[in-house]
Each structure stands twice: as C-alpha cells, then as structure tokens.
Structure 1
C-alpha cells in the first residue's frame, strides 16, 4: 500500500477534520466527514482549499506548504480561521500539514491537512488580549504607571509608564535592586512615612493602600507620586502575597494646590493685616453673610455668620445713611464697583468709627441680586488726613517763619547786630563794586576808617552797656553825616568805615573827616554823666586806576594806625612811607597769619575723669601754636592778637576739624573715645557761618560739646548768637558753661540756657585744700547742678587732696594736671589704648 492509500485510510478513521490537497493547485482531492461538517451541504472535493480559509490567513497556508516552508517530511501548525468564503462563518482552528511522499517521482505532490477546532479557546484569548490592549491604552493615556509586587515569588514588575514618569529607560533594570535602595530616592521628609506605609501595605492595612509622596526624578528634580494599590493574593495567614497598583505623577496638581494654598494664605494674611471684611448681601431677603472681620468692624460680639442688613443700618450715622443708600442704588448688574465712606457707632462700645466699603452687584442664574463687597475701618486714615491738613497748615506757617528767619540770617550775615550797620563783609563787597565802577569812569573812591579812642577805657569806667551806647551813637552820627551815595559800615569792635565817591581833589575827604571828629566830640550822657569821645581816622584813596578794595582796606588801616600814633582826634592820609613804618610793627601779626597758612595750630587733649571710677569720660580740646623749634605756645600767647586781627574764627575752625578727624581715627581703631569738648568764643558764637559749617561736618551722636564762657550768658545775646545756640543743640552738640563761678550767672539764666554741664573755674578749685569757705562755695555750685540735673566738672585738680575733696563734694568729673596734662593726639591715643587694656583685664 502506497503512502497515498495509507492517507486515504487515515482520513476516514481520523476523529479530526482531514483533507488531502494537491500542492500545485491547492485542490482538495479527499476529505472526511468531520471536514464536511465544517460547511454542511457543500462538497469540498475539487475545490481549492483557499475557499475554506479566511483571506487574511492565506499567507499562513502558503507558509505551511510553500517551497520555502522547509517542512518537507515534517508537520507544521498554524492558527487560521476556517469557513466558507466569502462570509464564513469562521471558526478558529489549529491547522497542521504534512507532505505526502510518493514512490513515483512524476506523481502529483499532495499534503495531508488536519483541522483542530480551537475557536472557544482562541476567542477567549483574543477577548482577553483586546481587553488587555484597551486597559493598556487607558493606562497609557491616563498616565498611570502599573506596578506588581509578588512577594511569594519575589517578582517585581514596573510598566513602561511607571518608568517613563521617573525618567528611566523603558526596558532594562531599574536603578535600584531593593526596597531599601528605592527608599533613598524618596524625599527625606517623606522617607519614614513611605517606609511605614509599605510595611502597613504588606500587613494588609487598607488605610495605607493610597498615599502620596515625593520621589527624585532621574534628572534630579522632585516629582509628586500618588500611589494606589490593592492586594490580589494572600498568604495563608491573610497577609497580602501580591499587591498590584498604579502610580500617577501628580506634580502639577500638587504645585497647583501649593500655589492655591499659598495664594489663599497670602489673601487671608492681606485681609487680616489690612483688617478688610468680606460680605455678601442678598437683596431679596436682606440677609448679610459676613466674615469675622465684618463682625469686628461693626462690633458684633456674638460673631453671627449671617444677620439682617437693618442691623448695620441702625449703626450708621444718620447724616451718612441716606447718602450711602443713594450710592448703593447706582449698582447695576455687570457694572463697575461703587464705593462710599460713612460713619458708624460700633454696637459693642458705641465708639465712632469711619468705614469705607466697595461693592458690586451680581445677578444669579435665577435672577436673584447679590451685593458682594468689602468693608474696612479707615478711622486712623481719616485722622491721618486731618493731621496732614493740620501739619500742612503748620508747615506753611513754619515755612513762612523759616523764610523770615532766612531773611533775618541773610541780613545778620551782612549787618552788625548792635548798630544795624553793614558789617565788614558787606563793606568789602560794596568797596569792590565801587572801585570797579570808578575804574571805568571819572569818579574817585575814598575810604575813611574811623576808630573810637580809648574805647576800652569807656567800657572799664562806665560798663559794657555804656560802651554799646557809645558805638550806637557813633554809628548814628556817621549815618546822619553821610550823603545819599555814601556807605557807612561797622568793621568790628570800635572801628567804623565810610565809603565816599567823589570828583576832583581829596579836599572833600579831609573836610568830611574833620566834620566827623567834630560831631563825635559833642558830649553824650553815660550813666548820668556827660562824656565827650574822640576818634582817629585813617583815609585811603584809589591812587590809580589799578587799585583794588583789598589794597584800600590795608592802606586805610596803615593810615589809621599812623593817626592814632599821633594822639587822639587825629586824621591821616595814607602814604607809602606809612606802610613801610607799619611793616616793622606787624611782624607778630605776620607770624600769626603764616602759622595759620602752615597749619601750625594743632589740638592738644586733656582727659576728664569720672570722680568715682577714674575712667575717662570726656576729652577737652585745647589749641597750641607749634613753633619752628618744635616747642608749643600756650593760648595766652596768641589769642589776644588773633582776636584783635579778627582771625580767631579761623583758628577755632581748624582746631575743630583736626579734633573731629582724630576722634574718627580713634573710633576706626576700635578705641571708643568719649565726647570731645571745645571752647567756643563769643565772636565765634555770633558768626552766621558757624551753623552751616557744622551742618557740612559729619558729627556722629555723642561726639562734641561746646564750652562757652559764663560771661557769654551775662551779656545780652544778639539774634545770631541765640539762633546759633538753638541750632547747635539741634545738631546733637552739648553745651557746657566754662569757668563757672567767676561771673554772675543767675539761676534764671541757667534755666533759660539749660546747659548740659558746669565747669567749676580753676580759681575756685585751687584754694579748696586750705579754705573751708571755698569748699562751701563749690558745694553750693554742685548742689545747683544736682538740682537742675546738670553735670558738674571741676578743673584745676592739681593734687590727690583736690581730687578727694571734690569727689566728696559730689563733683561728677575731674580735670587737672594731677590727673593728666594736655597732650598731642598720639599720646592721647596711647592713653586710650592703655585704659582699654586695663578695663579688659
């Protein structure tokens, strides 16, 4: 029996659907009943096997029997849909093919096909695959990453989405091999919680099957993960053996929540800080829903969540209620906000408050009208506005006073406070102007410098008040004698000047000078006495067209000295011979001026010590003149000459600048120096340029004290001195009274000036060791200081006994040679360093 016959026999006996097919034409040559049952009533013999196979599966059939199948003598299997073309119905079958061998090489090639019905199994498999595909699409599109922890098999699966959300490769090993390693990728603040949650998951705790945490992305930033899981298999002890879940990247949501929370927090903080209350008012029912701040604004102690609008109306000031309601009637749906300000009497305490509100009308879906708005208490703002109006009025008044004060200061800067005549500065400017005009015209300019003879004698005999009256008499006499174009000024002290513009010779100048002497010689009354005064006059002229104002002032000064050298009541014109004779007498003055130019005036410092602790609590600054041989001259050697030359202000300013620089240097070196004190002369106090100069100087708090002689307070102060004294205090500079006890200052005077300190004069301190009466005097001064809360400093401490007595008497500070002599800046720095070192031990 050949293989073909054997195949036919097998076909009939096979329980499977079987068919024999010619390979060249795919023609069915034989089938069994089981094959015919696939399509009942249709004979398959003679038909192509392809008619029973779904067209999409034809390539599978050809793969079984084709020349490249490589199955010769070997059975192959494919899953195909079997039915009847074109519409089926189709059933999934497992198709196997075996090539039948024939001894005759010329015989037709055939194959034996077996068909096994797998439709139910395949349909279920396709259904599950489709479901899996749908779920996979759903998971991918939802961004859920699947994880599967099989603790029984110790298998752990993570989907591609799970990997992608963390930045891992879609395949390959994860960057961790254990739960402990993975936990290192969790945010440190969440790590303990996540470790605990995992343990609770393993224990089956449903409360931990859903939680959120932060995990590090592979590029380094943190992402928020929402983890959801559930147990699908259990160990015998009911512990989860397998947990399957999903992870979702919720970073955007968490960031949005954080931003929302932060915004809400800032809004709440802003509302709380600004004390703004928010409310809604239902117009139909009249009900108001307000927050706690609304209740606080209106004084509702019961803190209701809602209340009737009439409760608010009852609190509004009657004068404001109608106006406020009228403003609310302007509200329209979709329109802009309406604001109003009104007064209320708070419900709980009855206090009057000012409230501002801003409201807008909203129209609901059903047509209900709701007013939404805010209220805030503006009582303090209203008070501030009122205060600003008042302050503005005060400022305008003060500006007027400042403008007037400025005018007064400008006037004072150019005029003498006693006689109201122009001062030396004004004189110099006017003389310069007239000389310039005269140089370009035929006019001539003459300068008369007038000095009252023996003026010091008048002061000594009749007192300073009488001397002032003499100066005023001289000023008025010169004004009465001057022509409309003459210029009269007070140069300082007892010196006056008159500028005269004239034509022709100098006879007019001489005649004017003589008439001045005659008028001044007329008797005046001083303290019930008839007194005659005389004067000396020096006269200078332009001389030539190239003359200048400075030269004329020098020439008139030379001429005046020449006139005074000839006796009282004399006049003298300037000649070159007078200048040569005067140069010899000016050598001390020239040396003093040269010292100023060369900065030979330097500060020396004498410390002031606390009377109880002997710690340095102040430093007095003293002027010294450095000589060419390296020695230093005392102030008594140059102050009288400097005052006569009117240059003491320059020396004072230089000493102050150097002292402040030394003080700054000590501070920069960490020495913490105490306050500096400097003497301020009466002339310097009346200088209009004093305060502007101090304002341009950086003065740290607690740096400076000015010492003024007691006699300054005895004299009637001029307007400039009073103004300067007031401004000095505003600059934070203390005022001490120097040489107290040598004048006649009254308690009323001290109260008026209110100095920070009193310095007991050296003349009162020296006799203390031998005079009990002197101690009583000093004790009374100390008691005055204590009563008026004024610090008391004693100078002239030249022995230990002096220091002990003054301490017992209650002095606050001591100064004198026994404690320390005046010293230059470097020695003072050394002393400060030593004291600082002693204090640190």
Structure 2
C-alpha cells in the first residue's frame, strides 16, 4: 500500500542524534483517521513522550486539555483537504500529569491506493525552549513599558538612516498633546519654534552635536511651550544605538522628563539663597549650627572672625565657644539655652566673650532656636553678631549724659520747665495733645514688643458750652480743673492722662484685665465725675461721656488711628445721651466713618494735589451783597466724588499733615483770585482757616513771602479756643509778620473759648466770627441774643468787624442785622461750592476801577 510505504519511509528517515542515539528532535506519529488512536510512532516520539503508551491509545489524551479543542478543529478543518498540511502549537505530556512541553505539530493526511483518507501523520517538533525565551522577552518588554509609564518618561526614537521618528504616548501627554492625533509639527525647525526663545539656539546646536556623536550634548535641559500655553522645563537624555559607516550616530533613542516643579523649586531656592547670603553679608551676622549629639558646631567665616578662631574650618567643638564666654555670663547663657525646646520659640541674649586669637573683650548678641533634623538629631541653629561698638557707644553716651547732668543741673531744670510748658496744658497742668501723641506712640511700641494691650479712654464733658454760657468762663475753668483732678485721683500709677482740647481728656491705660473690668472702671469714673461741686456759691453738677478703644479691638496700632477709634466711640456714646460709655466696634467705627480714609491714600492725595478749595459766600448784613469768601478744604477724589473735612481732618491732624493741606488750599485760592481779577471781576476778600501747627511753623512766613499776596484780599481765621491765651514765641512772631504782608486776622468760633479782653486787645484782629453754636438758638433764647449783642458791642468798641456763621433762616438774618452784625454766613445764604460756581456771584469791575 502506497500509504504504508510512505509511512515506513518517514518513520525511518530520522536517525538518532550523535549526542543521544536513542532520541531525535523530530518525532512522527501515525493516527487512525476516524478514531484518532495511535497506530504507529517512531523511536523519537516514544522517547519524547516517556509515558507508557499501550497500543491503540487515544492521542488526544496526551494533549493539554486547553489545547484539545484547537487540535480537533484542525483535524476536521478543510485545510487538510485543500493543502498538504496544517500546523498548531500545543502542549503535550512528557510523562507526568503536570509536565507539559510545547511542540509544533504539523498534520498531513495519508491516502490508500484508492485515494481514500485512512490515516493522519503528525510531525512533532519540540519548541519548549523557544516558547520560554519568547515568554521571557515578552514579560521583560511589559515590565519595561510599565516602568516607563510609571516613571513619567516620554520615549523618543530618531532614526536618521530611515528618516523615521517615534514619540511615545507619555512624550505627547507631558506636552498636552492628544496621544493618537498627528503632531502639530512636521520638521525639526517647526518643532524648535515651540521652544523658549532663550533656549532655541542652544537646542538647535545640541541636536547638531548629537548627530555628530558628541556625548556632551546627549543630556540637556530646555523650556518648551505646553499646549495650554505655559512653559514647561524638559530634561532630555539620549544615546546613540546605531551608527553610520563614518562612525556618526544613525539612530538616537532617549527619554524626556517634565522637570518644571524641580526647576521652580531650584529657582526659588537660588533666589532665596542669594537674598539670604546678601542679607547675612550686609548685616555682618555670623551663622552657626550645633549638633547636640556630636557637640560639633558648623560655622561660617563671620563666626570664626567674631570669636577669633583663626585656624577654624567648617566645624569646631562646642567647648571652644564655651571657653570664650565671660565667666560672669556663662551660667546665664547655659541656663537660657536649657529652656530651648524643639520647634519652640527662639531666645535672644547678650554676653561678653574673650576672643581666642588676641584675648580682646567683645560684646556679642545671639539668637538661637532648636529643631530636629530629618535623621532625628536635635540641633541648635542661630546667629551671632558683634555689638561691642554699639555697647561702647551707648556707655559713652550714658557717661556723657551723666557728666552733663551733673555739670548743668540748673540748665536741665530750666529746659525741663520749658518742655513742660510746651507739652502741658496751661490750665490743668496735664499733658497736652502733642505730649499725648508721643506717649501713645511709645506705649504702642512697648505693647507690641511685650505682646500686651492698652486701652484709650476719651472723655468729653456733656453740654460744656452751655455751662460756660450759663455760669461763665471762670466756672468752666474750675469745672475743667475738677475733672482733671478727679481723673488723676481715679487713675492708676502707670496711667497717662492728657487734656487734648477745650473739654476733652484722654487716658492711656494698660489693659491688664477684661473689657468688663475696663467698663466697670469707666463707670466708677463717671460716678465720681457726676458729684456736684461748689462754684461761686452755686452747686454745679456735670456729667461726661466716654469713648473707649483698645488695641485688641482696633484694626491698627498707630497712635493717630487709635485716637480716631476712641473718638468714634465717644461720638457714639454722646449720640446715645449724656453720661454714657461706648466701646469702639470696628463694624460701627472705622468702617462707617473712616474706612475710606487711610494714612496711605491721604498722603497720596496730598502728593497729587487732590485738595481743592470750596468757597462759602459771606454777605453784607445790611445790603446782602457779596463781601467775602471763606475757602474750605475739600478732597476731590479721582472719581469726582468729594470727601468732607470731618472725614480727613482728624487723621491729617494726627499725622501732622494739616500744614500741607492748608498750604495747598491757600495757593489754589490765590490762583482763583488772580484768575477772577484777570477776567474783570471785583474779587472779594478770601478767608482761610489756619491750623495750630501751621501757625507755629517756623517756615510759614518764608513760604508766604514767596506768594503773590497783594491788595489786602486775604485773611487768616484762628480758632479762639486754641491760640489766643497761649501763643508760643514762634506763633507770636508769625502773627506780626503776617500783618506786615497785608493779611488780616480773624478769630473763628468766638464765644466758645476762654479769650480775655486783654488777649483780644493784644491780638487786635480785623474780625470776630460768632460761633454757630451761639447763632442756632438765637431765635428762641433771650440769653443767646444777649450774649451775641455783647459780642457785637465788643467788636464795635474795638473797631472789629463781626461775622455770624451758621445763619440758616430769614428770622436769624433779621435778628442779627438788627443787633448790628456786619457780615452773615451760613447755609441759609449759600453753601460751599467750587470755584467755577462762584463766578456767577461776582460783579464785574466798573470802568476806572483798579484791577
């Protein structure tokens, strides 16, 4: 039979190998086509499959259960009929149940003489080793891919031989590119345009050097624009893996890493290090770090210089430092150091040392803190700086001061008397506003340093002006002295009390307890103040209101702002009725009244010339013709809104800025007056308010002499309650020189202060302005009419013009005119308006009149 002869040929065609004569890598087995039982097999197959095989055994039992279906499908497939053979990779047993080997089976059909298929020949090749090698390589490739993805590295492959370029998914993602879409560049030059302009030429050069095989350019960093628009830092690492015949790389493979976070940290660290080094170098401060385990101290050059360690390197034993400390200071330094705790507060000390190289005594200040390193080692870190010269200078100044005090006791006493006169109130002997500002600033600095709190209590006598008007100024003075003595008796030993204006007092007190205790103390003061006193045979009983601000509640620690807060609280207390106490509340204090006015924007407004004059007209009482203008300060903001004086004058006064505001208003008023004259108008006299500090400014006269003041068209208004009875030498000189310049003097708010007739004669003003408080009740108070009549009579007797301000009704106009008042001013006649609105009230000069 043809099939049998072919089988004999195949079964005997493969000889045993020389290494193992009984086995061969090629095995054949013949199967029955219908039952798939083994009918014949060569010796190699029997050695390959060591399992005992009885005749007519089922071949499929030798195949791994998972592979049997595959083999059955091949046996029954059409491929066996249409071609010579079919192949499959399956596992076959090699003796033991769990011992399987991979083999490649080739299946061929055998036909008999009649052409009918009766048998199937299987050709088996052992591929176990190749399969294991393939699985190992596949596993290694998977691990490598996982590692690349988890490491965040983007892979690139440039094959210059074939022109192919590959960029991995991670490479695209780190640049914000969609992984599966085409890149937005097709050439190297197009890609370079995505790089930072400062890095572009360098990267272009680096790529050229890579192609030339220069290893120095295989690793570099640059900035590239992310798809979102920002810059990212890329660390590029590459290596040549294939080469052209000339030795130059034909293929370079590498990775990119996004190092933006690292670069940002490096830049920040470098910037911080430069600043720190500059600060340390400039300050001449030495820096040290002491390891508490090894007791070694790491030092810099300045530390070695301070202690005179000429041979010191980077580290010295702590004992060398201890040996240099003055024996009298050593115990205190060691005791303070023992109080340090990890991450606790730092300590500052001063002590003396003897330098190691020359033995010179030096004074050192140090600041040290304690921390724990990453290795768990407790460590001191601190600074030292030499304060010898500062200490010596301080001692020399102290010695000089003591010598001067000893030699010039009488001179110092006279100076003290002068200072007391300058810084104290003439009536009560209490410190005045100037002294209060200095003391409050000093105490705020101390409170900030010592982390303590202070309270500011502002007192105002209720209805004091009515008391003055009813009982006279002598009674008012006695009441003020009584209030001052009462507050002194009620104050503690470290409280500071001042009189800041007519009937206002301020007390600075250390806040050692709660707000409740503070309020209780204020209530006791009110109770004591309300006790009646004997004045001129009459019992006089007065009450007061108190506004309280503390550094705990106030949103600032500046003296002027704290005074504003106390004043805000005082206004709220008075609005609730007499004999009241109010604590400052940020939401009802500064936020409602002064939130928009801060020292910073007030100074900026002065620098930008934002203060402008608003003019309130004054009218002749008999003819009601315009005869004068009062220039009032207004703050015109950049948005066109106007800030009223009440919202900026208290702050400007506390910051000593009123001089500059007064000067700006004066200069602009003179400019307006000159413009009106040039336009042919009969310009009336312009009066300006002048602050106390402005009048006592030594440079006032010099600044006025530089201005064009002609024709007696300017007058200065001085507050009666501030100036007349206590002028200093500078103010008196300025008043004399002001008159020489042709500027008139007016007394503002007359009738509310304590001016004597002698002082009035001495000052000889051109006008008296009756205070609004006296004018308002004029129509329904006979006493008020009598007082105003007396003022007008004084003015007539002394040939002084009398101006009434606060005129609001027709009845007031008629009464004041009948009483003999010369000039009227008030909202009933005209409100303050800007310069351009005043022109409609001005009258043109007639022909022949001087311009």
Q: TM-score, normalised by structure 2?
A: 0.46
Between structure 1 and structure 2, the one with the greater Rg is 1
